[in-house]
Amino acid sequence: MKIQKEKQNRYEIRFSGSGGQGLITAAVVFAEAVGVYDGKYVCQTQSYGPEARGGKSKAEVVISDQPIDYPKALELDLLLAMNQAACDAYFFDIKANGLLVVDSSLVEQYPTSRIITIPFTQIAKEEIGRELVANMVALGTIGFLCGRVDLANLEKALLARVPKGTEEMNSRALQRGIEEAQKIDVQGLPRAVMSEDDDL
Amino acid sequence: MMSETTTPRRLLQGNEAIVHGAMAAGCRFFAGYPITPASEIAELLSILLPAADGTFIQMEDEIASMGAVIGASLAGVKSMTATSGPGFSLMQENLGFACVTETPLVIVNVMRGGPSTGLPTSPAQGDVQMARWGTHGDHPVVVLAASSVEDCFSITVKAFNISEKYRVPVILLSDEVVAHTRECVRLPAQTEIKVVDRIRPSVPPDWYKPYEGDSRGVPPMAALGDGYRHHITGLIHDEHGFPTQNRHEIERFHKRLTKKITKGFSDIQMSRGFLLEDAEIVVIAYGSVARPALRAVEDARRQGVKAGLLQLITLFPFPRGTVSTLLKQCRAALVPEMNMGQISREVQRVNQFDCAVVKHNRVDGQFITPLEIFKHLIKL
Amino acid sequence: MPTPAQAIRHEYLRHNKKFPHVWCPGCGNGIVMGALLRAIHHLELSKDEVVLTSGIGCSGRMPTYLDFNTLHTTHGRALTFATGVKLANPALNVVAIMGDGDATAIGGNHFIHAARRNLNLTAIIINNSIYGMTGGQYSPTTPFGAISTTSVYGHIEHAFSIAELAVTAGASFVARSTVYHADLIDRLIEQAMQKRGFAVVEVISNCHVQYGRRNKLGGAVDMLKQFKEQAVTVSRAEKLSPEELEGKTTIGVLVDRELPVSTEEYKKVRRRAHESGDKV
């Protein structure tokens, strides 16, 4: 049996990769921008293993114009995969015509042709000078592509969270991510094979 | 614009909201021991309490934490601790002491997968019956459950208020999902929050009987050092606080402890109803699971199924009246839980009607999804 | 006119508590209780400002009889409750009374951490080398080879030295006496209660009923005589070799040192917290 589509305007993003890549931080900044600054309803959750560094890590943000009942993602509108394992594990959670964004510096095998590939880590390392800010480059890209956040507010939220003295670097990373996203022709991406009306 | 009755919008985790709720309720003492997924509560209180002239201490274990919390509460300071399953197990001994000495305090148990070390970073609701019956002997205790960040704030305030008003330990059950979900909230301003404080004795010290109940069965409580020198013991005691083996005094003591809670049912038992008016199937859920349950109920309504949700906030004393009314009205009750059926057994216990009580259990460390509840619901 | 001793009894014992107490005739607990009362009397402390906590066991019943703020807690946990009371109201004089099993078996973890933490508390441990109330089972201070109801073939474990444990764990003040040396207990408790920091007084006591009888040590008087013979003052002990100290009990002040007291250090934490402001 199929569930009739609800009317609420729900948008789901998952940030995934490994512990230490700053995915939870990126999700928190995003949620703060959408919730505190844009004034929308937002839920941010995460799951992680026992490792402080290196284990599987994922963080989710659900955005809506109405109160959010289920706080976790159900069908992803956008998946960010910052390594191959995350890409493989979560690709099937993306809804038809959802977006898959991968860090092409770390993901080699693409599960679909409907994919956006940007070398976040390489950009962070070579252009910004710190590999650590790859998450913020990705955040910029996602902020632009999802179209659900005011980019000025995204930067405000970012600057409020990052350590003193690193504002300029983080801000530059975010802008680079936005620039990369601007180059993408989302409409020109191949359509998903599965239609939204297919059975569950 | 910031209004006078609220504070600015903030993105908070459930654990952080519990801390703000505790501070707003007047909590000024915390003793605890690090444990996932509750540690954020201790971390934030270690910053906020000293700034409010309160006290934070990290003890050598959870047994010691409970001892310190009881000691501080007896000295007149609103006190709490926070833990998860393994630590909650260790707290049971002194929780019994708090019950028998009627010491107000709040224990937050952020539930994770169990038993034993279990699944430290996964959600579960396996400690429900333990919260009610974990410490030995008959005892009154109040168990509440939070489902959102907003709840974490408001129910923590409520937990302290009940604890102070009835001189009873209150256990607030959270879980890994509630604890770590961040949501945007506007916390009410302090002036908007109703804070209840324990009643202090008004009689001269010579007249004071520390365990003589007032009309509600709740004895006024003097703080250590207040001039009302008296004896406090884990032994069953008479109205003066001295150990007794007199069977009449023992029975009177037990009955008063139970009665002070039963008399407060209407005040203590809290729940929320959604789409219940014409419901034929009721979903009974609590904690984080109330959220997928609401979504499943709304999805079912769109399919023409007359479903409704009862979200239990008070788990114990079990809200028998509210649940019974719905069991009488509905042909089926579905109880989704992240355990093998710890509240469904309570629902079954009070079911004296032609209502099928159906369990929906998940114990694989995963959060229950709306879809699985929906699929189960429409089959009933 | 009551004698001075009677006057102290009248002042500090709870007249509304149904005596007699639970202790056996000849028990050392009464001597320690008397010493505690005389020390508090001599220090002229207000009864309202004294909090007495205890655990479970024969020693645990002491607070019941005394007219202070009294808190008879769970087994081994007296120091944890005392910690909460002291932190919540540092103006109170908080004393924990414990037994050997209470303080060093089930409460051993709390004991060493209380010493390490160094709150301004007084701990009095009545060490009679046995679990008396439950019927004479071996405790952490039962000597090797001794007979108890759970070591009828002879005890195979070694005993703790409670005072030395407290020294190593970091207590500010550690002293030991025996119940034979009643005057010394008065003075040691007085010193301990005046000491800033965690202060421990271990009192070697007799349980002639559960320990002495089974180990052929005689009655209460015989055991007290043995305490007298075995006792060596700290200053004399310094001149003796380890061989000469075998079987002896060192009495007096073992350690008296100035260390940061966490009750006072926490005031600094509050000040720092105020200064940094509520940034969270």
Q: Which domains, from first to last, does chain C contain?
A: 4-276 (3.40.50.970)
Q: What pLDDT, on a 0 to 100 scale, did the predictor assign at position B136?
A: 97
Q: What percent of chain A has pLDDT over 70?
A: 90
Residue A171 belongs to domain with CATH number? 3.40.920.10
Question: What's the CA angle centered on C114, arms C112 and C118, to 5 degrees?
Answer: 120
- Position A3 scores a pLDDT of 56
At least 3 CB pairs under 8 A between chains C and B: yes
Instruction: Return the pLDDT at C252.
Output: 98
Rounded to 5°, the CA angle B105-B111-B112 comes to 150
Please check whether residue C272 touches B, CB under 8 A.
yes
Question: What DSSP string describes B109-170?
Answer: EEEEE-STT-EEEEE--TTHHHHHH-SSSS---EEEE--SHHHHHHHHHHHHHHHHHHT-EE
Contacts of A1 in chain B (CB under 8 A): 303, 375, 378
Cβ contacts of B227 on chain C, cutoff 8 Å: 48
B90 touches chain C (CB under 8 A): no
Which of C40, C74, C269, C274 is the best substitution to test chain B (most B C-beta atoms within 10 A)? C74
**Phi and psi dihedrals of C64, rounded to 5?**
-55, -35
Examine domains B6-192 and B270-377 and report if their fold is the same: yes
Residue B23, C-beta contacts closer than 8 angstroms, at least 6 positions apart = B48, B49, B52
Q: Do C64 and B242 touch (CB under 8 A)?
A: yes
> Minimal Cα–Cα distance from A62 to chain B, Å?
10
Q: What average pLDDT does this structure show over A64-92?
A: 96
Structurally, chain A folds into a number of domains equal to 1
Residue A55 lies in a domain: yes
Measured between CA atoms, the residue of chain B closest to residue A200 is B371
The answer to whether the CB atoms of C84 and B93 lie below 8 A apart is no
Give the pLDDT confidence score for residue A52 in this predicted structure. Answer: 64
What's the mean pLDDT when you consider all of chain A?
91
Which of C80, C120, C266 to mutate: most B Cβ within 10 Å?
A: C80
Q: Which residue in chain A has the smallest CA separation from B183?
A: A43
Provide the CATH topology of domain B270-377: Rossmann fold (3.40.50)
Any chains having at least 3 CB pairs less than 8 A from chain C are B
C20 CB-contact burial (10 Å; exposed 0-12 / middle 13-18 / buried 19+): exposed
For Cα atoms C30, B94, C53, give the angle at the middle one, nearest 5 degrees: 25
Does B201 reach chain C within 8 Å, measured CB to CB? no
Question: Which residues in chain B have their CB less than 8 angstroms from residue C83's CB?
Answer: 31, 57, 59, 64, 67-68, 71
Task: Give the Cα separation of C119 and C82 in Å (integer).
Answer: 10
B69–chain C Cβ distance below 8 A for any pair: yes
CA distance A27 to A146: 13
Please check whether residue B229 touches C, CB under 8 A: yes
User: What is the predicted pLDDT for the residue at A4?
Assistant: 56
Selection from B301, B306, B371 nearest residue B336 by Cα:
B371
In the prediction, which pLDDT does A196 show? 56
Domain of residue A67 covers 11-182
Domain assignment present for A6: no
Euclidean distance between CA atoms C38 and C9, whole angstroms: 9
- Chain B CB contacts of C69 below 8 Å: 224-225, 229-230
Q: Give domain status of residue A175, yes or no.
A: yes
CA-based nearest residue in chain B for residue A69: B291
Angle of helix C108-117 versus helix C78-88 axis, rounded to 10: 30
Encode pLDDT of C168-210 as tens digits. 999 999 999 999 999 999 999 999 999 999 999 999 999 999 9
What strand order describes the sheet that includes A116-118? A116-118, A94-103, A76-81, A11-18, A56-64, A41-48, B182-188, B6-13
Residues of chain B with Cβ-Cβ distance to A47 below 8 Å are 121-122
| DSSP result, B176-220 | HHHHH-EEEEEEEPGGGS----PPPP-S-GGG--TT---TTS---
pLDDT of residue C275: 92
C47, C72, C269 member nearest B229 (Cβ): C47
Give backbone dihedrals phi and psi of C136, rounded to 5 degrees, phi first.
90, 40
The predicted structure's pLDDT at residue B2 = 45
Q: What are phi and psi of B98, to 5 degrees?
A: -65, -40
What is the nearest CA distance from B184 to chain A, expressed in angstroms? 6
Q: Chain B partners of A3 at a C-beta cutoff of 8 Å?
A: 299, 302-303, 371, 374
Task: Determine the distance in angstroms separating the CA of A2 from the nearest CA of chain B, rounded to an integer.
Answer: 9
Residue environment code for C113-140, b if the CB has 16+ CB neighbours within 10 A, otherwise e: bbbebbbbbbbbbbbbbbbbbeebebbb
Q: What is the pLDDT of residue B5?
A: 75
The closest alpha carbon to B124, from B168, B167, B176, belongs to B176
Burial of B347 (0-12, 13-18, 19+ CB in 10 A): buried
CA distance B158 to B24: 11
**Chain C contact present for B10, CB below 8 A:** no
Which of B10, B299, B367 lies nearest to residue A3, judging by beta carbons?
B299
Residues of B (231-250) whose Cβ lies below 8 Å from C: 231-235, 240, 242-243
Ranges of residues in chain B whose predicted pLDDT is under 50:
1-2
In this structure, are residues A34 and A43 in contact, taking their beta carbons and an 8 Å threshold? no
Q: What is the pLDDT of residue A1?
A: 47
Domain residue spans in chain B?
6-192, 270-377
Burial class (CB in 10 A: 0-12, 13-18, 19+), C22: middle
Q: Are strands A94-103 and A116-118 parallel, antiparallel or unpaired?
A: parallel
Pairing of strands C249-256, C231-233: parallel
Residue A169 to residues A29, A76, A132, A155, B8, Cα–Cα distance (Å)? 16, 30, 10, 12, 28
Contacts of A65 in chain B (CB under 8 A): none
Q: Is B66 on the interface with C (CB under 8 A)?
A: yes
CA distance C139 to C131: 6
Q: Are B233 and C69 inside 8 Å of each other by CB? A: no
Residues of A with CB under 8 A from a CB of B: 1, 3-4, 6, 28, 31-32, 35-36, 39, 41-50, 68-72, 74, 200
Contact check, Cβ <8 Å, B233/C273: no
Q: From CA C96, how far away is CA C117, in angstroms rounded?
A: 15
CB atoms under 10 Å from CB of C239, counted, come to: 8
ipTM rounded to 2 decimals: 0.97
What is the CATH number assigned to the segment(s) B6-192?
3.40.50.970
Rounded to 10°, the helix A23-32/A134-146 angle is 40
Tell me which chain B residues have a C-beta less than 8 angstroms from the C-beta of C274.
Answer: 50-51
In a domain, A191, yes or no: no
Choose among B28, B64, B54, B234: nearest CA to C81.
Answer: B64
Q: Is residue A44 part of a domain?
A: yes
> For every one of its 280 residues, what pLDDT tens digit does chain C have, with 9 covering 90 and above?
889 999 999 999 998 766 788 999 999 999 999 999 999 999 999 999 999 999 999 999 999 999 999 999 999 999 999 999 999 999 999 999 999 999 999 999 999 999 999 999 999 999 999 999 999 999 999 999 999 999 999 999 999 999 999 999 999 999 999 999 999 999 999 999 999 999 999 999 999 999 999 999 999 999 999 999 999 999 999 999 999 999 999 999 999 999 999 999 999 999 999 998 755 5
Write out pLDDT tens, residues A169-192: 999 999 999 999 999 999 999 987
